[in-house]
Amino acid sequence: MKKFIKMVCAFVLAFSTCLAGFSLYGCSRDGSGETIDPSRTQLYVAVFNGGYGSEWLQNAKVRFEEEFKDKSYESGKKGAQIIITPYLDRSICSTSLYNNMDLNPNEMFFTESIPYQEFVTGGKFLDITEAVTTPLTEFGEEKSIEDKMFPYHIENFKTGGKYYALPYYEAFHGIIYDVDMFEDELFYFALDKNNGNGGFIFDLEDERSYGPDGRTGVIDGVDYSADDGLPATYEEFYQLCDRMKEQGIAPITWSGGYPSEVTKTISALHADYEGAEQMMLNLTFDGTATDLVDTVDENGNITLQEPVEITAENGYMLQRQAGKYYALDFFDTIIEREYYADLTFNTSQSNTGAQEEYLYSRFSSSKTPIAMLVDGTYWENEASGIFTDMVNGGYGQAAAKENRRFALMPYPKATQEKLDEQTSPVFMDINYSTSLVSSRIEEYKIPLAYDLLRFLHTDEELCEYTVATNTPKPFQYDLGEEYLDRMTYYGRSLYEMHSTGNIIYPSSNSPVFYRNFSNLTPEFRPWVSTIGTSSYNVPITGLRASGVDAKAYFDGLMNARGETYWRNNILINL
């Protein structure tokens, strides 16, 4: 009887999944309604249909099925059929997947928000070590998947000497700027700050300032000129916003309906200020904190404490990291000086709504042009339909994605002192994306799952993914000119950051972190603040409240999640 009930539940889940896929694609096209070919072996694959969609996987499916059309995975059959179900909701993410995985009919998943160690401990993932560590010789390559991984991913995904999953995608949060607008309006800083033009260039031939990396030209084989002319410090960013307002341009916008998304950019500024070593203390709780704030005066000047050894017992003290204060102050200033567009705080403005407002603003005479957008690096892929609508709606090819130029702005430095350090920018990978195989997969299908996993991580497929999504995969590989030529300006700029940037993966094998995953992921709950009788879960909401500034919100971080909270909600799980 129990077996029958389980089968019925699995059927209902599969049927509801089909309906979820149908709402965007039609079940007969992408979802579990694809006609089954009884002559081939089926592998059921789920993909979270968020910012990167599923087109990249649909394209790879065709190539894989052709590549392995003559291989037999079970007696009497030849070839493989990859059945893809795009999920439009978050039922295959985080604890939802953990709780329902035993009933989910899919055998491989490409998803996000996965607390890796919790799934491994719970026996949810198949051991894929063999697939990851064996050289990809069948595809003419000498390297294994592991050989292409970054050290920080190896550290987090290799547990007990084994791999149970791989990172799926790479994404950062920050400020996207319209390169065409910046050039047309000459929104770049000049090398000569006393040039009689407010420190901005007169024309595109002028020498530009050195930007937030504090350097220019090629040094030791590294080109530092990409950020030239962009704001080097927070103060220069505010100066740029003032210039934009003077010229009738709204500096910035974001999704008012999802204000928590801005928190990811606040976290990104926090990470860039701290640098990799200090930021990782929030995940390892093992090391010396060198910039904990003692006090913040009424003018925003900070006094630091003496260095503190951080352990599991006093991890709450990291709520006082200086980078947190400066990141809060950055957005507090944007709000106070009204550098934002009209619909920025409109609660009905979704993420795609903000993208639409941003993209249309420069083309519509009835809209105020907007120079910058706060979003994740996946925004351009997510907005593909908007670009198409603009082209078809009368704006022509000038509005097409491939003909517009955007880039992720390198984070400006909070202070002149930080700029003088000339440190490389730090990018924090987010969303805990994961490629995995369910431990419930039938044994005869394991070789098929291995083949698909390995195929997707060949150099050619890593490049094809990058072209399809205009964002890099979180692995080490080179894009040839033939691939770069197929990408947008934005996609090429992200690949350059991927190749040269200092990336943090915000995870750790520390029991403090993985046993408190939902409470310690750096982009959300560590930003809860209690100010008097009010509590705020989202900084951008709190900073807009009456009487709340960066100093009050920063002090409230410790009120909300200080020693008492730490003892009763974090240490209790160890």
Residuewise pLDDT in 10s, the chain (574 residues): 444 444 444 444 444 444 444 333 333 333 557 899 999 999 999 999 988 999 999 999 999 999 999 999 999 999 999 999 999 899 999 999 999 999 999 999 999 999 999 999 999 999 999 999 999 999 999 999 999 999 999 999 999 999 999 999 999 999 999 999 999 999 999 999 999 999 999 999 999 999 998 888 877 777 778 899 999 999 999 999 999 999 999 999 999 999 998 999 999 999 999 999 999 999 999 999 999 999 999 999 999 999 999 999 999 999 999 999 999 999 999 999 999 999 999 999 999 999 999 999 999 888 999 999 999 999 999 999 999 999 999 999 999 999 999 999 999 999 999 999 888 788 999 899 999 999 999 999 999 999 999 999 999 999 999 999 999 999 999 999 999 999 999 999 999 888 876 889 999 989 999 999 999 998 889 999 999 999 999 999 999 999 999 999 999 999 999 999 999 999 999 9
Question: Measured on CA atoms in the order 479, 485, 486, 491, is the torsion positive or negative?
Answer: positive
Backbone phi, psi, residue 346, to 5°: -70, 115
d(CA 436, CA 107): 9
Residues whose CB is less than 8 angstroms from the CB of residue 521 and which lie 6 or more positions away in sequence, other chains included: 432, 506
In DSSP terms, 41 is beta-bridged to 80
Domain covering 41-171+431-499 in this structure, CATH number: 3.40.190.10
Per-residue pLDDT, 22: 36
Dihedral sign computed on CA atoms, order 524, 530, 536, 539: negative
Q: Which two tokens stand for residue 307?
A: 């260095």
Q: What are the structure tokens assigned to 260, written together?
A: 């928590």
Name the burial class of residue 24, with classes exposed (0-12), middle (13-18) and buried (19+) by CB atoms within 10 angstroms of its CB.
middle
Instruction: Specify the length of the chain in residues.
Output: 574
Q: Which two tokens stand for residue 207?
A: 């020498």
At residue 497's C-alpha, the angle toward residues 493 and 499, to 5°, is 115
Q: What is the largest CA-CA distance in the chain?
A: 84
**DSSP H helices in 337-373:** 351-361
E-assigned strand segments in 260-369: 287-289, 293-296, 302-304, 308-310
- Smallest CA-to-CA distance from 244 within 143, 337, 323, 163 is with 337
pTM recorded for the entire structure = 0.91
Q: What is the pLDDT of residue 461?
A: 98
Tell me, what's the pLDDT at 365?
87
Distances (CA, A) of 440 to 47, 106, 123, 437: 17, 9, 9, 8
Structure-derived torsion over alpha carbons of residues 168, 170, 176, 179, reported in degrees to the nearest 10 = -100
The rounded distance, in Å, linking the Cα atoms of 476 and 496 is 12
The DSSP-derived string for 369-397 is -EEEEEEETTHHHHTHHHHHHHIIIIIGG
| Adjacent-strand bridge partners of 83 | 44
pLDDT at 4 (0 to 100) = 43
Angle 446-456/55-67 helices, nearest 10 degrees? Answer: 120
Residues carrying CATH 3.40.190.10, the chain:
41-171+431-499
Residues 271 and 278 sit within 8 Å (Cβ to Cβ):
no
Cβ contacts of residue 259 below 8 Å, gap of 6+?
A: 538, 540, 541
What is the pLDDT, as a whole number, of residue 262? 96
E strand intervals along 203-344: 218-219, 222-223, 250-253, 287-289, 293-296, 302-304, 308-310
In sequence order, what are the beta bridge partners of 426?
A: 502
**CA dihedral sign, ordered 372, 373, 379, 385:** negative
The angle at the Cα of 328, spanning 322 to 329, to the nearest 5 degrees, equals 90
Among the listed residues 120, 42, 26, 27, the one whose alpha carbon sits nearest the alpha carbon of residue 77 = 42
- So what's the pLDDT on residue 32? 53
Give the contacts of 221 (CB within 8 A, at least 6 positions apart). Answer: none
CB–CB of 484/390 below 8 Å? no
Report the C-alpha dihedral over residues 471, 477, 480, 485, rounded to 10 degrees: 0
Run of H or E residues at 498:
helix 489-500
Give me the pLDDT at residue 501, please. Answer: 64
